[in-house]
Structure 1
C-alpha cells in the first residue's frame, strides 16, 4: 500500500466490484485446484492435455501490472529478463499499464474473455475478482512448492478467499507512530519505546497530544489516520484503530457487518477517534502542507514509504535527532493492516502451470531479495527480511515486526469498495458531522449488508 496510490483506490475498486460481479454466474467454478478440477486433489504439476503446448513449442504468457515508480519498473524488468533467459521454453511478455488506466483495462479484458495469463491486483480487490471466477486458485501450487512456511500467516490471509489462496505476495508496507522527539523532550513527556512489542496506548497518545498541542501557534498533537481523503485510506489507516480497541468490521466470511461494526468495542474506537478532533481538539480536519516535518504536528501515523520522502525533502529534519518512530499505538491489543499488490493467474489461462512457474519465481526468496534490494520495499518472506541488516534494526524493524506479528487483512469481501466507502463515511459523519455513534453505525451496517444482498450470486 503506497501512499501515492491511496487516492485512487476508492473509485477504481468500486468499479471493479460492480463490473466483475456480473462476469460469471458460476462463481469459483475452479475452486478445487490449480488445474481446475472440482475435487481439488490434482497435483500442482498436472494439467489437461489441451493446456499443454506441443512438444518443443515455446509457451507465451502475458503479464499485466500497474506501472510503478522507476525502481519498481527496473526491478520487474530485471526479473522478467532473468526468468525468460533461464526458461527458454517459456516467454513472458510484460505490459506495464499506467495506474489510472489499469483497472478499467483489466476489467475490459476479463469481460472480453481475453485476460492476461498473469495479473497484478491490489489485496482489497482480490475477493471481487475471485468471486467472479476470474482467478485461478493457487492453494495446491503453494502447498507443492510455494514455501508457505516462509510467509506470515496473517499475510497469506490477505490473499485467501473461501479457503483458497488466490494471489502470491511479494512485498509489504506498514504504518507506525512518527513523533517529534524534541517536542516530547521540551514538554517533559517520556519518549515512546522503540520495541515493536511495547507500543504506547491510545490513552497515552491522547495525553501526550493534549500537552503538545498549542492552538495559538497552530500546533496539533496527533493526526491519527491521515485525515479523510478516501475510502482506501480509511481501510489502511483507520481499521487498525477499530481492531486495537477489540472491535471488528465484518464477519470472517465478508458477508455482513451486523454484530461486528456495532460491537461495543467498535463503538468505543469510533468515539475515541472523534473525540480527538471534537472534544480534545488535538487533531485538525485540515493541516498546512507537510505539517509534521515543519513542526505543526507533534505526532502522525504514517507509512514506511515516508522515510525516504522525509529524508529527501527535509534533510535538516533528522531521524533520531529531531524525530523518531514508535510502534503503532494499541488499545487492548496490537494490530496493523496488511496486504499489497500481488500476482494472480487468470482462470482462463491455458498455461496455468507455466504461469505459476513465473509467479513462484518472482515471489520466491531469491527474486524477492533482488526486488527489495532495488525498491527498498519490505519483503514478505521471513527468510528474505532476515538478509537485510537495516530491516532488523531500528527504525525499519518496527515496520517489519509489526507486519509479521500483528498484521491483519482488511475484510476479505467481494463488496470491499462499498464496505470501505460506508465505513469511511461513518468516520466522517461521527467526526466531522458530530453525529450519534449508534445511529451512524446502524446506517453503515445497512449500506454494507444491502451491498452484499444486491451482489449477483
Structure 2
C-alpha cells in the first residue's frame, strides 16, 4: 500500500554487489532452482522435530502489528512443531538490515518486501522461487494474474501477495454542481477520459482565488510516488516505460504514445494551468482543489481528520481516468522466502497461511486494507460497495505491474527526473526522455558488469 510505499534503495544491493555474491543464477540467466518442486514428502514435520523459522518485516502501525501477531500465533497453534520468531524492524532501518543479513549469508527464512524490489532480490539469487509451491497448494486462480505478474521475475513467482491498494479520482461534488458539470460515473468500468477531466478542471480553475482544477499525480514527491501515480498516465495513453523483460527503455519510453502522455501531463501545469507546482496544506478537503488523484487509504484519513468534509455530500469518487485504455499500478508488500532457508517447505506453510484466504481475511479485517485474493475481497461487504469497490475492481481488472527490473530505483529516479525536467524545467521532451533512457541503460550495464565479476 502506498501509505507504506517507499523508493527502496536497492541499487547498492545490485550495483554494489551486496547481494551479487549469493546469486544462484545459471549461465542462461534463469534461477538454478526454478524448476525444483516443493518436497511434499518432507513438508510434514515429525513430532520429535522442532523447526524454527525466522521472519523479518517492517514494523507497521499498532493495528498492523496486532494483525501479524494474531496470524503468527494462529499458525503456531495449528503447527505446534513449527515456531516462528517474528522480528519487526523500524521502517527506516529495515532495508539496510535486510541487505546486510543477506550479504553476510544469514538472512531470515521469511522476509517482507515491497513489490518493486522483486527484480533486485530475485536477480541476485536472494529469494527462492515460489512457482512450484503456488501450483501445488497456493490457489493461484484466486489471485489476479496481473497481481501475480507483479511478483514474477523471469517466469518465476518470487513473492506471495497479502494486500493491495489502488488510486482513483476524488472530486469536489459541490464545485462540480456549482459549475454545472455532470458528475462522473461511479461504475469502475466507466471512467472519464482525461479530456473530460481537463474540461472539468478548466471550469473549476480559479487561480486568482487560490483554487486549482486538478492535482493529477500527487505532485512531485519521491520517485516511488512517481512510479505509483504517474506510470498509469503513461499506460492510459498507450505508452510504456520499459521492455517486458525490464532491460531497456529504448523504444518504449521514447514511443509516440509515451511522449503524448508526458506532454499532456506537462500541459496541465504549463499550457492549461489547471495544476500548480505547490498547493496550500490539504487543498482538497479545504476547498482549494477540484479534483485530485488519490489512494484508497485516504478515505480513512479524510473521515478522521476532516469530519465536516463528507463523502457523498462534499466529495465523491470516480474511477481513474483513461486515455485509450484503463490502467492502474498494483503491488504492495508481500512475503518471500530466502534462497538460503534450510526449511523452505515449512517457510512456505507459513507464507501460505498468512497470504491464503483465511490469513488475508484476518489481516484485512483488522487493518481495513484490500486483500489481494478474489475470495477474501468478496467476504467484505464494504469492498463490494461504493466507494471501495472502485479500488478493488480497478485493481483486479486493470492493474498493471510497475516495471520488474533489478534497477527499479535507478529507473524510477530517471523517470521522475524526466517528469520534473519537462514539467517544472520546461525542458524539451525528446532531450529529457533521451537522458532518462541513457541513465536506465547505464544502470542495466552496471548490473550486468557486476554479475560477470
Q: Answer whether TM exceeds 0.5 for this pair.
A: yes
Tell whether 2:270 aligns with 1:269. Answer: no
Using a 3 Å threshold, how does the CA distance of structure 1 residues 37 and 273 change in structure 2: closer, same or farther?
closer
Structure 2 match to 1:2:
2
Q: How far does the alpha carbon of each residue in 1:381-429 deviate from its partner, in whole angstroms, 9 at most, with x for none?
A: 0011111110000000000000000000000000000000000000000
Among residues 364, 368, 371, which one is paired with 2:363 in the alignment? 371
Using a 3 Å threshold, how does the CA distance of structure 1 residues 262 and 30 change in structure 2: closer, same or farther?
closer
How much has 1:32 moved relative to structure 2? 11
Structure 2 match to 1:249:
241
User: Take 2:92 and 2:17, find their aligned partners in 1: how far apart are those partners?
Assistant: 18
Instruction: Give the 4+ runs in structure 1 shifted more than 6 A.
Output: 30-33, 51-55
Among residues 132, 156, 173, which one is paired with 2:148 in the alignment? 156
Asked if the contact 2:13–2:20 (Cα under 8 Å) also holds between the matched residues in 1, the reply is no
How much has 1:42 moved relative to structure 2? 3.4
Task: Give structure 2 stretches of 5+ with no counterpart.
Answer: none
Among residues 327, 344, 354, which one is paired with 1:362 in the alignment? 354
How much has 1:18 moved relative to structure 2? 3.6
The number of residue pairs the alignment matches comes to 449
User: Take 1:190 and 1:58, find their aligned partners in 2: how far apart are those partners?
Assistant: 64
Q: How far does the alpha carbon of each residue in 1:50-102 deviate from its partner, in whole angstroms, 9 at most, with x for none?
A: x9988712000000000011111010000001111111110000000000000
User: Take 1:439 and 1:143, find their aligned partners in 2: how far apart are those partners?
Assistant: 46
Asked if the contact 1:32–1:38 (Cα under 8 Å) also holds between the matched residues in 2, the reply is no
Structure 2 match to 1:185:
177
Query: Structure 1 stretch 360-369 or stretch 53-62: which is displaced more?
Result: 53-62
Structure 2 match to 1:28:
25
- After TM superposition, the score normalised by the length of structure 2 is 0.96
Tell whether 2:93 aligns with 1:101. Answer: yes
Indicate the SS of the match to 1:228: coil
Among residues 9, 23, 30, which one is paired with 1:12 in the alignment? 9
How much has 1:39 moved relative to structure 2? 7.2
Using a 3 Å threshold, how does the CA distance of structure 1 residues 208 and 17 change in structure 2: closer, same or farther?
farther
User: Take 2:14 and 2:130, find their aligned partners in 1: how far apart are those partners?
Assistant: 21
Asked if the contact 1:177–1:299 (Cα under 8 Å) also holds between the matched residues in 2, the reply is yes
Indicate the SS of the match to 1:125: helix
User: Take 2:16 and 2:83, find their aligned partners in 1: how far apart are those partners?
Assistant: 31
Asked if the contact 1:19–1:107 (Cα under 8 Å) also holds between the matched residues in 2, the reply is no
How much has 1:40 moved relative to structure 2? 1.4
CA-based RMSD: 2.0
Task: Give structure 1 stretches of 5+ with no counterpart.
Answer: none
Q: Equivalences for 1:58-69 in 2 at 5 Å? A: 58-69=50-61
How much has 1:45 moved relative to structure 2? 1.8
Using a 3 Å threshold, how does the CA distance of structure 1 residues 39 and 388 change in structure 2: closer, same or farther?
closer
Asked if the contact 2:18–2:99 (Cα under 8 Å) also holds between the matched residues in 1, the reply is no
Structure 2 match to 1:344:
336
Asked if the contact 2:18–2:103 (Cα under 8 Å) also holds between the matched residues in 1, the reply is no
Asked if the contact 2:115–2:332 (Cα under 8 Å) also holds between the matched residues in 1, the reply is yes
Asked if the contact 1:223–1:300 (Cα under 8 Å) also holds between the matched residues in 2, the reply is yes
Indicate the SS of the match to 2:49: coil
Q: How far does the alpha carbon of each residue in 1:294-320 deviate from its partner, in whole angstroms, 9 at most, with x for none?
A: 000000000000000000000000000
Asked if the contact 2:19–2:103 (Cα under 8 Å) also holds between the matched residues in 1, the reply is no
